[in-house]
């Protein structure tokens, strides 16, 4: 009997329901969103993540399914305009977004201004209410594990439901080292509240998915990684996962 923790098809079957199928390309059209939602339905993924202007379209296309619609605010630069971020989040929720991916103002963290970063997360948290708030740390810019831990703790204390590694637009995206630092921060600072992790940026192969699933199992326990607590954000991964399942059929 094959081991689902090591064989490609087993890993793919486990990873597909955790996938946030994403199109945040600079050029994105209605036809791209239609194709994204078709793939999301076919793969029974956790969510799609789209630009704010496509939230309504994605919500209509996925109506009647459990697939969630996520969008981004202050993305990818991590701007510090609280009023704009709050307005954008509120509009996206009104359009049908179930999840908001907010970029932590990581430049504020880098200059030692934690309060600016905290204030923006708290303000957006206030408008999210029942909406899942995922806070993107841009770990490649933060660099050191100690700084990633600091940013993780700040985001958790400010009300993040998920921590997310990166925008996917930076020179350094997700790394196992950053993901481990974030998982350990979730375990240490969650305070009994369920906080998830989304690994995003640079995932392209079944082996990449396996690396992060094994990491989550090791740090958090083998029953922790489920759609409510763990996501993989990568459109390029979808084809690899579905091909691995097809090869085993």
Q: Is residue 140 assigned to a domain?
A: yes
Q: Give the integer Cα–Cα distance in Å for 220 and 229.
A: 10
Question: Which DSSP string do the residues of 31-99 spell out, in sequence order?
Answer: HHHHHHHHHHHHHT-SEEEE-GGGHHHHHHHTTTSS-EEEEEESTTT----HHHHHHHHHHHHHHT-SE
On average, the pLDDT of the chain sits at 95
Q: Is residue 248 assigned to a domain?
A: no
pLDDT confidence tier of residue 2, bands split at 50, 70 and 90 = very low
**Mean pLDDT computed over 197-221:** 96
| DSSP conformational letter for 103 | E
Read off the pLDDT of residues 147-190 as tens digits, 9 standing for 90 and up.
999 999 999 999 999 999 999 888 888 999 999 999 999 999 98
Q: Give the integer Cα–Cα distance in Å for 245 and 219.
A: 27
pLDDT confidence tier of residue 1, bands split at 50, 70 and 90 = very low
Read off the pLDDT of residues 46-72 as tens digits, 9 standing for 90 and up.
999 999 999 999 999 999 999 999 999
Residue numbers annotated as active site = 101, 164, 198
pLDDT for residue 202: 86
Greater model confidence, 14 or 1 = 14
Q: Give the integer Cα–Cα distance in Å for 175 and 143.
A: 11
Q: Give the integer Cα–Cα distance in Å for 120 and 127.
A: 11
Read off the pLDDT of residues 70-117 as tens digits, 9 standing for 90 and up.
999 999 999 999 999 999 999 999 999 999 999 999 999 999 999 999
Q: Is residue 41 assigned to a domain?
A: yes
Q: Is residue 230 assigned to a domain?
A: yes
Q: What percent of the chain has pLDDT over 90?
A: 90
| DSSP conformational letter for 217 | H
Q: Give the integer Cα–Cα distance in Å for 184 and 236.
A: 27
Would the pLDDT of 3 be above 90? no
Q: Is residue 52 assigned to a domain?
A: yes
Determine the structural domain holding residue 98 and report its residue range.
8-240
Q: 157: domain CATH number? A: 3.20.20.70
Q: Is residue 245 assigned to a domain?
A: no
The pTM is what? 0.95
Q: Is residue 165 assigned to a domain?
A: yes
76: preceding bond cis by omega (within 30 degrees): yes
**β-sheet bridge partners, residue 197:** 163, 230
CA distances to 41, 110, 206 from 2, rounded to whole Å, are 27, 46, 16
Would the pLDDT of 229 be above 60? yes
Burial of 113 (0-12, 13-18, 19+ CB in 10 A): middle
pLDDT for residue 234: 81
Q: Is residue 133 assigned to a domain?
A: yes
pLDDT for residue 192: 83
Domain count, the chain: 1
**β-sheet bridge partners, residue 99:** 70, 132
Q: Give the integer Cα–Cα distance in Å for 98 and 71.
A: 8
pLDDT for residue 6: 63
pLDDT for residue 5: 55
Under 8 Å between Cβ of 213 and 245: no
Cβ contacts of 139 within 8 Å, gap of 6 or more: 148, 165, 166, 172, 174, 175, 178, 181, 182
| DSSP conformational letter for 18 | G
CA distances to 17, 19, 69, 107, 130 from 60, rounded to whole Å, are 20, 20, 10, 36, 20
């Amino acid at each position: 009997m094959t081991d689902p923790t090591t064989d490609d098809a087993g890993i793919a079957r486990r990873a597909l329901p955790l996938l946030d199928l994403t199109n945040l390309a600079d050029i994105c059209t209605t036809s791209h969103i239609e194709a994204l939602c078709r793939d999301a339905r076919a793969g029974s993924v956790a969510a799609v993540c789209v630009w704010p202007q496509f939230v309504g379209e994605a919500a209509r296309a996925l109506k009647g399914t459990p697939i969630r619609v996520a969008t981004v605010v202050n993305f990818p630069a991590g701007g510090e305009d609280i009023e704009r971020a709050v307005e954008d989040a509120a509009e996206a929720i009104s359009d049908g977004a179930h999840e908001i991916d907010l970029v932590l103002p990581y430049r504020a963290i880098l200059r030692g201004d934690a309060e600016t970063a905290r204030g923006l997360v708290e303000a957006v948290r206030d408008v999210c209410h029942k909406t899942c708030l995922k806070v993107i740390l841009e770990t490649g810019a933060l660099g050191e594990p100690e700084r990633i831990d600091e940013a993780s703790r700040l985001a958790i204390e400010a009300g993040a439901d998920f921590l997310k590694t990166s925008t996917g637009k930076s020179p350094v995206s997700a790394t196992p080292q950053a993901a481990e630092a974030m998982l350990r921060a979730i375990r240490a600072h969650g305070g009994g509240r369920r906080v998830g992790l989304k690994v995003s940026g640079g995932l392209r192969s079944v082996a990449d998915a396996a690396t992060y699933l094994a990491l989550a199992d090791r740090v958090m326990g083998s029953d922790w990684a489920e759609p409510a607590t763990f996501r993989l954000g990568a459109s390029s991964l979808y084809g690899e996962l579905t091909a691995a399942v097809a090869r085993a059929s």
